[in-house]
Amino acid sequence: MAPNLVHLVFLLLALITPLILFLLGRSRGSHRLPPGPRPLPVIGNLHQLNTLVPHRKLLSLSRIYGPIMQLRLGLVPTVVVSSPRAAESFLKTHDVAFSSRPRLEVLEVLPYRDRSTVFSPVNGYWRQMRRFCVTNLVNKDWGMLRRETFRNVMERIADAVAAKGGVGATVDVSEVLRGGFEDMACRMVFGCWGEREGVDIGTIVHEYLMIAAKMNTSDYLPFLRPFDVLGLAKRAKKINETFDQVIESIIRQHDQNNLAEQEEGDFIRSLLTLLGQAVPGSNSRQARVIDRESIKAVLLDMILGSFESTWAVVEWAMSELMRNPRVMECLQGELQTIVGMSRMVEESDLRYLDYLEMVVKETFRLYPPGPLLVPHEAAEDTVVEGGYFIQKGTRVFINVWAIGRDHEVWKENPEEFYPERFIGSRVDVKGCNFELIPFGAGRRICPGMNVGLTSIKLALAQFVHCFDWKLPTGMSPADLDMTEEQCDYEIAYADHSSTLGILARDEPSLETTNGSMATLNTVFSGTSFCGCDQQGLLLNSLVRTDRIIGLTEQIQS
């Protein structure tokens, strides 16, 4: 299109959009819309969310307009839900109406876009693939893999400490945690380690999540799509080409029945048995055949869901434990009493560790990895709690981050990390108590919840059981920066003409302005997909001589 024509189209759209929206608004007749801030012409309330941490801004707006608040983001009517009661209305009472997902622009460039279980509408295909993943991946017994993974992680820490001169050496906890969770996820989903064809799968996952987390203007102002203003469609295409090459090579290896590459309960091999099967599509008359693209889409969903969210929770928990020595002491005390100091924590111990359970819940309350969940969309016109009318096609954000800080629910110092608030409480994270829904609730609830929870508890327990930790010299708990910031950096490709061969991601510096080492707590939480991340937790490890015999010897040798 010639530039003049483009400008003309843009101008026309800018002029007629408010009129269309006005007429649409009128046609809703007597329906009562939720309150919300007044939108500007064309951009609506987009300017108010021009922030790296939209869940914070949305919380402050909801304190003015209420727990069900209507915004207009560009041309998209959007509702933000910020209380347990309102969340229950959307995710339980009207679960069917709000289980759909919006079609995001970055997905349009992906060949597997309509086969993803995360972004598929609720239909026969979604149901079947989700059930398949739960049976063949999530519900498998991964106990041995977790045991091996976290033993390796503890040994890696001990090795790193020994290499740096022994007890008291500084360890990059983020790095070790990320590596452990990445390897475990790759072995579960792909049956191989995290490095493939010279490409680190973790870097691919991170890039996907970064792209999805960005607030993409084209999603809200569709007439900007041809311009790819933020370059996200280009980035998505590029990372997808890389993923495609990596995943093709992994699938080929499983296809060829190369047993050396395979682990017990091989998920890819089970997926391949589905090839060619017909499953119901969006309605009972429409069948869909499972093809190679469906298999790649499911593998991508599973690997994206698997590890960033999990290790981020352990990092947040470790940061809070460093800030709260009393809580650390209680947790170590519980481990010492229940597990003792002559062996490592085992999965079978977890059910007896009540204080650990409370520490994990408290971490989820304050730092849900998906502060706004994955966006939902209204599949039909619905009247919700409070008599508010929600129009079909409205995007729905459930502000879990705000719900975790709701003064009405968490009456005693909601901002404080205080695991004891759960003593005698039946609230848990499994989707029945709407005051704490880090995994969502209803039919879109995270299918990986149980596997994620067990890994988090085991990793955290072993971290604090095997080692004593202290902040690097010169740093006090008050220096720990617990605010989130968006961490975006482009990955470097080895060769611009080829998609394979990612060099590295350009990590943000770990030095703070005053020169001391500090945490860079990072959240990436655009309004499309949200994930929480935290980077660069550096701690000094101190292994007490009465702790875990093997590790102590390893460090001292």
Q: Which residues contact ligand HEM (rule: CB under 6 A)?
A: 117-118, 130, 138, 301-302, 305-306, 309-310, 313, 369-370, 373-374, 438-440, 444, 446-448, 451-452, 456
**Helix, strand or coil, per DSSP, at residue 142:** coil
Q: How do the residues of the chain divide into helix, strand and coil, expressed in percent and rounded to 5?
A: 50, 10, 40
How far is CA 157 from each of CA 90, 175, 335, 466, 543, rounded to the nearest angstrom? 44, 10, 19, 10, 10
CA-nearest of 109, 135, 528, 527 to 298 is 135
Residue 201 or 548: which CB sits closer to ligand HEM? 201
Residue 133 or 321: which CB sits closer to ligand HEM? 133
Supply the minimum distance, in Å, between the C-beta of residue 286 and ligand HEM.
20
Supply the minimum distance, in Å, between the C-beta of residue 500 and ligand HEM.
25
Rounded to 5°, angle at Cα 497 from 492 and 500: 60
Residue 17 or 116: which CB sits closer to ligand HEM? 116
- Both tokens assigned to 367: 């730092």
Residue 44 or 422: which CB sits closer to ligand HEM? 422
Do 396 and 385 touch, CB atoms closer than 8 A?
no
Supply the minimum distance, in Å, between the C-beta of residue 523 and ligand HEM.
13
Estimate the crossing angle of helix 201-213 against helix 292-306, to 10 degrees. Answer: 90
Supply the minimum distance, in Å, between the C-beta of residue 205 and ligand HEM.
12
Do 290 and 132 touch, CB atoms closer than 8 A?
no
Task: Return d(Cα 90, Cα 378) in angstroms, integer.
Answer: 9
Residue 68 or 313: which CB sits closer to ligand HEM? 313
Supply the minimum distance, in Å, between the C-beta of residue 201 and ligand HEM.
14
Task: Return d(Cα 40, Cα 50) in angstroms, integer.
Answer: 14
Nearest residue to ligand HEM, scored by beta-carbon proximity: 448
Residue 54 or 440: which CB sits closer to ligand HEM? 440
Residue 113 or 547: which CB sits closer to ligand HEM? 113
Supply the minimum distance, in Å, between the C-beta of residue 491 and ligand HEM.
23
Residue 266, by phi and psi: left (phi above 0), alpha (psi -120 to 50) or beta?
A: beta
Supply the minimum distance, in Å, between the C-beta of residue 2 and ligand HEM.
42
Do 315 and 173 touch, CB atoms closer than 8 A?
yes
Residue 36 or 369: which CB sits closer to ligand HEM? 369
Residue 91 or 251: which CB sits closer to ligand HEM? 91
Half-sphere exposure of 193 (CA within 13 A, CB side): 9
How far is CA 166 from each of CA 150, 174, 237, 463, 511, rounded to the nearest angstrom? 21, 20, 46, 17, 23
Do 516 and 475 touch, CB atoms closer than 8 A?
yes
Eight-class DSSP state of 496: T
**Between β-strands 76-81 and 395-398, what pairing exists: parallel, antiparallel or unpaired?**
parallel
Do 328 and 322 touch, CB atoms closer than 8 A?
yes
Supply the minimum distance, in Å, between the C-beta of residue 398 and ligand HEM.
7
Estimate the crossing angle of helix 308-323 against helix 173-189, to 10 degrees. Answer: 150
Supply the minimum distance, in Å, between the C-beta of residue 451 and ligand HEM.
5
Dihedral sign from CA coordinates of 429, 430, 432, 434: positive
Supply the minimum distance, in Å, between the C-beta of residue 119 and ligand HEM.
7
Do 464 and 547 touch, CB atoms closer than 8 A?
no
Residue 220 or 529: which CB sits closer to ligand HEM? 529
Residue 44 or 202: which CB sits closer to ligand HEM? 202
CA-nearest of 36, 92, 94, 97 to 69 is 36
Residue 313 or 356: which CB sits closer to ligand HEM? 313
Please report where in the chains the tokens 């989707």 appear, as a residue: 431
Supply the minimum distance, in Å, between the C-beta of residue 138 and ligand HEM.
5
Task: Return d(Cα 373, Cα 15) in angstroms, integer.
Answer: 34
Do 130 and 99 touch, CB atoms closer than 8 A?
no
Supply the minimum distance, in Å, between the C-beta of residue 91 and ligand HEM.
7
Residue 44 or 67: which CB sits closer to ligand HEM? 67
How far is CA 430 from each of CA 434, 448, 529, rounded to the nearest angstrom? 9, 11, 20
Supply the minimum distance, in Å, between the C-beta of residue 212 and ligand HEM.
12
Do 198 and 501 touch, CB atoms closer than 8 A?
yes
Supply the minimum distance, in Å, between the C-beta of residue 369 and ligand HEM.
4
Residue 42 or 80: which CB sits closer to ligand HEM? 80
Half-sphere exposure of 377 (CA within 13 A, CB side): 18
**Helix, strand or coil, per DSSP, at residue 492:** strand
